[in-house]
Amino acid sequence: MESKFNLPRQRWKFYPQNPSLVKDLVHRLGLSPIMAQVILNRGMVNLEEAQGYVNPEIIDLPSPLTEFPDLPKSIEILKNAIASHQKIAICGDYDADGMTSTALLLRGLRHLGAQVDYAIPSRMTDGYGINRRIVEEFKLEGVSLILTVDNGISAYDAIARAKELNLQVIITDHHDLPLQLPPADAILNPKLLPKDSPYAGLAGVGVAYVLAVTLAQNLNQLQGLTKSLLELYTVGTIADLAPLTGVNRRWLKRGLKLLPHSDILGIKALSTFAGIGGEKKLLNSDDIGFKIGPRINAIGRIGNPQIVIELLTTEDEEIAMTRAMECEQTNETRQNLCKEIQQEAIKIIEETPLNWQEDRVLLIIHENWHHGVIGIVASRLLERYGVPVFIGTYEEEKPNIIRGSARGIEEFNVFLALQYCDDLLEKYGGHKAAGGFSFNRENLPLIHSRLRDFAHQSLIPEYLQPLVKIDAEITFNEITFNLSQEIDSLYPWGIENKTPTFSTSNVEIIEQKLTKTGEHLQLKLLHNGITLKAIAWHWNPYYPLPSVVDIAYKLKENEWLDKKSIQLDIIGVKESRHQ
């Protein structure tokens, strides 16, 4: 029977339960049965792996010098450049990963006595990555060594030009490898390592961290440097949505403890604006992912990246507060822009017959959208429609060029989809989940057709609904502070190590209302005689909900007037079958 309620289109997938291994983990590691199951769901297959997950410090970590083939060579090149007072130039990127990487290497190299400066391409005029103009400007400024961070692996032309000009180049990047690697002197990229290497999931800032720490160790000058570098690594890694597995999990566990008492004035100032108090003993990935990261990212999207580099490298409190205030204001502007473009995009999708369900991919192009925020809008459209999203807008200076961003679902590889359009694109890059591209507007129909072909090869219709993965079905009686604290103790949660999601069936909604802004839905829920409060973010389109539902949710601890409570963050709802 058709429901009279408008509910989110979703597919729920329950992890297979493993009672015997759960029992073993409960016995050996002192975990609750619920969290033992969650750890198994995160891919741990035996006791040893589970122990390493619970306590990453016990894992035997190989030296990066043996893992990254070009790391010893990179160290020698940098040591020579520092010793002979050569000018070193860092070419970063304008996202949070690229800006934190740039700040990290500036801090590290200055600490080691290097003559170092930086440049970041303009999102609006240059687009992503190092280019010939930047290389030629470096040459004119007397630079001898270029160090790319979070970019460079697909910049064959620019690196070839640097070599023509007798410049040395070290590429540090983490993006997927092109068919032909650039002719750099050394390349550090985790994608060149075996997939099972603990370093395989590093973001750009992780590669920069490895390089800076290894160089400082080699020069016996690591003292006084590690803490600030680890803090920048932590912010960049989480803000870049890198997988929180392998060495990332180990280093982030350390870094998140340091951040509430940061030595970096800019991080202190940002935390103040973001309302993250110093009384917190530990930050979690959400504090960075939803509070610090967006304030840094907003600048790279619609402001001048120099603001963030100054913020993260200054030793002057006044400059730190001024720059943090600029981040705050820019982030507000970014939020408004996102909302505006998202509304326009939804209107186009729902009022123009875009056959995205039939195409199995959503390609939407519109003029006068801001390049800097369409990636965020792509993510929101993906959440709403459950199909891969390719969104673009016309270049101001070159109206015949369309530039855009892509976001993919679990069963769809964005980078391979862009590669499938290789001959039609001017430029592209990215990885499985996200990418960027530009192409000539006359190729639009061909690109649409090519993406549709690729989507039909990758996706079956049932994949085209947002996926909710559920760790375990539990009752409200099992939702306790102990469970919430156990979840907290196994941080960091995030990409490829998602915060646990639970479900409960036959829950009665005893109260539901929209928040003052009319955007979010507040609920009071009853199950097994226990009442809990819940919130469903951005769920105004689904109001009102049926009176009895099955829910999928995450747990969140709330503190109000010194009183703690557990709130449910609703991420899925289905009408209950057993009413």
Task: State yes or no: pLDDT of 104 exceeds 80.
Answer: yes
Structure tokens at 76: 């020698």
- Residue-averaged pLDDT of the chain: 92
CB 518 within 8 A of CB 314: no
Same fold, 11-52+467-575 and 353-462: no
Whether the link from the prior residue into 445 is cis, omega within 30° of 0, is no
Residue tagged 């909900």 (tokens) = 545
Residue ranges of the domains in the chain?
11-52+467-575, 64-258, 353-462
CATH for 64-258 (3.40.50.1370, 3.90.1640.30, 3.50.30.10, 3.30.465.10): 3.90.1640.30
Question: What architecture (CATH level 2) is domain 353-462?
Answer: Roll (3.10)
H-type alpha helices, 293-388: 293-302, 306-313, 317-351, 356-359, 374-385
Q: What is the CA radius of gyration of the chain?
A: 24
For residue range 24-41, what is the model confidence (pLDDT) as tens digits?
A: 999 999 999 999 999 999
Task: State yes or no: pLDDT of 1 exceeds 50.
Answer: no
For residue range 282-332, what is the model confidence (pLDDT) as tens digits?
A: 777 788 888 898 999 899 888 899 999 999 999 999 999 999 999 999 999
pLDDT score at 557: 86
For residue range 224-271, what is the model confidence (pLDDT) as tens digits?
A: 999 999 999 999 998 887 888 889 999 999 999 998 889 899 999 999
Task: State yes or no: pLDDT of 378 exceeds 90.
Answer: yes
Question: What architecture (CATH level 2) is domain 11-52+467-575?
Answer: Beta Barrel (2.40)
pLDDT, mean of residues 402-426:
94
pLDDT score at 2: 57
Q: What angle do CA 499, 151, 413 make, to 5 degrees?
A: 50
Rounded to the nearest 5 percent, the helix, strand and coil shares of the chain are 45, 20, 35
pLDDT, mean of residues 120-144:
88
Q: 484: closest CA among 500, 508, 460?
A: 500
Find the range with the poorest average confidence among 440-444, 495-499, 553-557: 495-499
pLDDT, mean of residues 56-66:
93
